[in-house]
Structure 1
Amino acid sequence: MAATIARWLIGFGAAGLIAMTAIIGWQVFGRFMLDSSPSWTEQASLILMIWYVMFASAAGVYEGFHIRITLLEEKLGDSSRGVARMVALVIALAGLVLLIYGAQLCWAVRGNAVPSLGLSRAVAYVPLPISGLLMTVFAIPQILRGRSPVEEGNA
């Protein structure tokens, strides 16, 4: 199930990057060809970027392409599992911070609107608590085993 969620998150991230590229392309076309940039493109692309970066980051925790000290892992061999566990623990704690404070941020800005889109500002920050939860859930097996599921061949 976790592997399926991670694949969906990566797919969503790729789709978000493509959509953002199209939106920025439309903005450039409007600015230079039509002499009129659409007002919504900048905010829409920024919100999309928050969404796809946060969800791809959560998938990265599962896939094991998060920040690691690969050289140290290669040099230490199997004894690097302790380092991997510590990194996973830090990531899980960071995920909990994103979950708690991201939810508080969404609640705090729910009444503010993005002027050019007419959406609640909370829409931009919804991925913070969701990806924080997913990062924590994806890091737990790594804390217990010292390796990501993908590295173990369980994906």
Structure 2
Amino acid sequence: MTRFLKYGTIISTYLLVASVLLQIYARFFMDNTPAWTEEASRLFFIYTMSFAAGLALKNNYYVYLELFYDNMNLRSQKVLMVLIYVGIVLLFTLMSYASFKFVQLGIPEKSPSMKISMSIAFFSMFIMAASICFFAIIDILKIFKDLK
């Protein structure tokens, strides 16, 4: 899962940079700028964030309030983290379920300039939700393992 998300993040980031560079080049050196580059940039940005969200949770890159957390004893810290991760799992499980319905709604819809199914763009929501759930569950299991 980690490898899939890393490669997805890297590839979508490179594609984002390439589409932006093409946009810049076209505006300065071409008579007509390709209309699809702005939409492609948006899509690649969304996928970059979706692939990276789970990795950010795995590597503890999200910001949290340390003032209260650092003043708690170790057991209270672990209980709080389990409660937070359970909340994350519940929220993103709901998002995973809802994203499938959203993808189905996007199948007949086409993007304005690239003419691809909007379900491709909406599928990024599932990738984000599933990867965050996956790593939150792993973190819950690690905390329970440490409690023993």
Letter in structure 2 aligned against 1:102: S
User: Is 2:83 the partner of 1:89?
Assistant: no
Q: What is the CA–CA distance in structure 2 between the aligned matches of 1:55 and 1:36, rounded to whole Å? A: 33
Percent of paired sites with the same residue: 21
Equivalent in the alignment of 1:52:
48
Equivalent in the alignment of 1:33:
29
- Structure 1 residues 47-100: Cα deviation after superposition (integer angstroms, max 9, x where no partner): 111111011102222222234334443333523112211221222122112201
Give structure 2 stretches of 5+ with no counterpart: none
Give structure 1 stretches of 5+ with no counterpart: none
Matched positions, count: 145
Which of these two proteins has the greater Rg computed from alpha carbons? 2
Equivalent position SS for 2:35: coil
Equivalent in the alignment of 1:76:
72
RMSD between superposed Cα atoms in Å? 2.3
Q: What is the CA–CA distance in structure 1 between the aligned matches of 2:97 and 2:112, rounded to whole Å? A: 27
Q: Is the 8 A contact 2:53 2:131 kept in 1?
A: no
Q: CA deviation at 1:144?
A: 3.9
Q: What is the CA–CA distance in structure 2 between the aligned matches of 1:112 and 1:127, rounded to whole Å? A: 16
1:1-155 matches, within 5 Å, as 5-76=1-72, 78=74, 79-146=76-143
Letter in structure 2 aligned against 1:141: I
Q: Is the 8 A contact 2:53 2:128 kept in 1?
A: yes
Q: CA 1:28/1:128 → structure 2, altered by over 3 Å: closer, same or farther?
A: same
Letter in structure 2 aligned against 1:39: A
Q: CA 1:146/1:115 → structure 2, altered by over 3 Å: closer, same or farther?
A: same
